[in-house]
Amino acid sequence: MWYSIVSSILFASTVNAWLPQDRDLEAFNQTLRFEKLGKRFGPSLPNGVTKIRGVNFGGWLICEPWLMANEWSNMGCDASDVSEFDCMRNRYTGANRDAGNQAFEKHWMNWINADTVQSVHDVGLNTIRIPIGYWSYTDIVDTASEPFADGNLMLPYLDAVVQKATDLGMYVIIDLHGAPGGQQQDVFTGQNPNPAGFFTDYNFGRAEKWLTWMTNRIHSNPAYASVGMIGVLNEPVSKHDGGNRYPAPGEDPGLVQTYYPAALKAVRDAEANVADDKKLHVQFMSSKWDSGDPRASASVANDAMTGFDDHNYIGFALSNTGDQYSLMHSACTDSRLVSGEDFLITGEWSMTSGADWSDADFFKKFFTAQQQLYEKPGMDGWIYWTWKTELNDPRWTYSYATYLNYVPTDAAGLENNVYQDVCAGYT
């Protein structure tokens, strides 16, 4: 998500794919989770939580060097290696490939693990979003031209993380963050294509195979019992990108008219023998992302078990990113709602800005204002980018923000935050 960005739950009765409260996930039951932690809270606080409140596990199964410079170096990757693709191509070709696989496997083992999931749970969050690349399914990788580390090696570590989330009753979203050919000129795709090369029938077909494979994996492995949503494509090239990127070759109308309905079909076909109340929500980027309206496809519009992903980085959208009034005014007056987009989550956001991150009073208010924005009626919650970095910067690092007490550190605090009046004077 980095370089490419420049700028009460509504559940219809016809929606049958499962939602967190349908399974009474423990992380959404404040009474239960606080009893387990030996804590109590005021009786005026509702027992149930219906909003998604979570974090991304960025930098894990797809490395983003800007947020993990030391880790990147320890993996044997140079600063000039801007992506996983480049590191493996430049440092680990030929006889060195096994060493590259070992370096990446060590990263997958340690950057995020089951203990991380426990820490996320213990600060009151109930959801994790896992960005992942298509090379996790090695059968669709063109090994002659796509030198990624062997993606099958990451799968035991993914299994362990989702198992822990299932044990804790946390909701999990698995997101196709890195598509074949790259859907954006950005290293979050695992490569750095120029232009974005995803929008071809060949690469659409490979992504559909990945979705079939991952859907089957989710439904056949008990560890994945709390995985409730699969994202079909993260942040494709959009109209708000600079440098005349949009549309990338083949993107318009290929993304909306060809890939989106085919991606939905890939998931639903894999679920042909799955009961409706166990099916996944299939998630598309919100039309606010400005790369096309997914619901312009009839099959997407008519599927009652879809979800939509809004990404909102306020600090990138302002001309003066350090102006505290402007930052708060945006958070306090914006609306992320889109008519017809149900189960709408702000799946990436942060406190990034030019404001001095040591200003605790401001960032407590800025976080709260954004939490309230993403939990307005019609919005279904939020997932912060990201849990862990090496930046020592709470604007990007939720775990560090909890350490500094810039954000609530338990579920009761997050629930109470909804009722704080932080927008007076900013509307």
Q: Which of 220, 216, 214, 221 is nearest to 133 (CA)?
A: 214
Q: Which of 162, 260, 142, 144 is nearest to 214 (CA)?
A: 162
**Tokens 């060097």, located at residue:** 65
User: Which residues, 6 or more positions from 86, have their beta carbon under 8 angstroms from its beta carbon?
Assistant: 80, 191, 192
326-351 burial code (b ≥16 CB/10 A, e <16) = bbbbbbbebebebeebbbbbbbbbbb
CA distance readout (Å), 316 to 259, 277, 391, 411: 28, 39, 18, 29
381: left (phi over 0), alpha (psi -120 to 50) or beta: left
Residue 171: which H helix or E strand, with range?
Answer: strand 171-178
Cβ-contact 211, 232 below 8 angstroms? yes
Cβ-contact 59, 396 below 8 angstroms? no
Say how far residue 100 (Cα) sits from the centre of its chain. 26
Tokens of 312: 């909102």
> Cα-atom radius of gyration of the chain, to the nearest Å?
20
Q: Angle at CA 4, nearest 5°, toward 79 and 208?
A: 100
Q: What is the DSSP string of 22-65?
A: GGT-GGGBHHHHHHHTT----TTS-SB--SEEEEE-TTSSS--G
Q: What is the DSSP string of 269-315?
A: HHTTTS-GGGPPEEEEE-GGGSS--GGGSHHHHH-TTEEEEEEE-HH
Cβ-contact 183, 234 below 8 angstroms? yes
Tell me the catalytic residues: 235, 348
